[in-house]
Amino acid sequence: MKKALLPTNDLYMQFTEDELNELNMAPGDKFDCKIQDDGSIKLEKYVKLELDMAEWSREVLLMIIKESLDQDISVNDVINKLLKKSLENFEQQSTKEPVLLNEEDSTKS
């Protein structure tokens, strides 16, 4: 679906009820915005994730609380940052190119 953005100082987009239904969206849904090479904007809906903090160690919980206080942000924001950083690290490691043999090693096989 293509939608025109109206110039304002606010960062929001309004959808009609029909558009919300067509896109399986609800009021208040949050999205990541990615600008494409052609100048269009791709919206990717955030997915809710339920975590059971009862399974986390005391050390992890204390570290999260300390970060929350040090950065003056909510515990939820600290957890979101940690998850985002972990996922970025995971993506970097999973996209690393495999180690190639040098020419000398490849002729021996």
Residue 60 has pLDDT above 90, yes or no: yes
Candidates 42, 30, 34; CA nearest to 80 is: 30
Distance CA 88, CA 81 (A): 11
Q: Using one digit for the tens of pLDDT, what is the confidence trace for 6-33? A: 666 666 677 888 988 888 888 888 888 8
Domain residues of the chain, as ranges?
A: 1-47, 53-94
The burial of 25, by beta-carbon neighbours within 10 Å (0-12 exposed, 13-18 middle, 19 or more buried), is given as middle
Give the single-character DSSP code of 38.
T
Pick the CATH number of 1-47 from 3.30.200, 2.10.260, 2.40.70, 1.20.120: 2.10.260
Contacts of 2 by beta carbon, 8 Å cutoff, 6+ apart: 40
For the stretch 88-100, pLDDT in tens is 888 877 776 555 5
